[in-house]
Structure 1
Amino acid sequence: MPLIIDEVQRVPELFSTVKYIVDQSDRRGQVVLTGSQTYHLMKGVSESLGGRIRILEMAGLSLRELIGTAGMGAYVPSRLERAGAPMPPDGFDLWTHIHRGSMPELQDESQDWDTFWSGYVSAYLERDVRDLINVRDEMKFYNFMVACAARSG
């Protein structure tokens, strides 16, 4: 049974122990490390576990996954409909999907997207990014994040 450790970037001293466990056996997948701070996680992993790991980055769901056409070619709106390109199902509202985002939890329509994203900003961006770049003025940093979000595609 594998050992799973979440938010491993918070305990970098664990990497030497993980290295020891991994080196004791040829069995793959015996230790699974997860984390939300890629920078800190990768720093610790590359220093002590190089050559012993496989890295999987988990992105949000793609639009093709959301509309059920994953693996069926690129999604291009109605322009290619006659050419047999996969199209979104009837009733698909692109703006709703843009608003809700691609996080799996938000595909449940009973989840409030505003509450989810507020918590996400607090838990990941404000805390993790603040730790990474040593933010001094939290209000300026928050306004900067809002400006970036408003200009992202």
Structure 2
Amino acid sequence: MTGQVSFKTWAGIFVIALGVLLTITYFNLYNQDVPEALGTRSFWPVTNAFLAAYLLFTICFLLRGRSYFSSLLFLGRISYSLYLVQATVLPLVLPHLDHVLLSTVVGLGTTVLVSYFTFTFIEKPFIHIGRKIARKSSVSVPQ
């Protein structure tokens, strides 16, 4: 085997994962609408968000051999910073904006901007320091 996953195996894993996802969200959220500050935590919105993410992952997986737009590569580079920063930036920005389109643009723009600076001035320097330390030290494993 060369590390490639056959379509049959991939399709089986996809169907099983989808079944697990639907089962978990159904038993945890069906008929349990709980109003939250940023939306309702109920079965359909959560399931649709998971399905959209799963669909996006699948499309990216199928297109993994192709070249991508530089903007997508940029977002990929800062993705960990995006993940960390969005939980702080969005609750600070969104409550102050009433218009949906405006709050989306400002929220995404602010998140990407703060993530870029976090990536550039925090993440990259510490990655560099970590690589230096890894090159200097040779860890010996006890027998």
Structures share a fold, TM > 0.5? no
- TM-score normalised by the chain length of structure 2: 0.22
**Larger RCO: 1 or 2 (CA < 8 Å, sep 6+):** 1
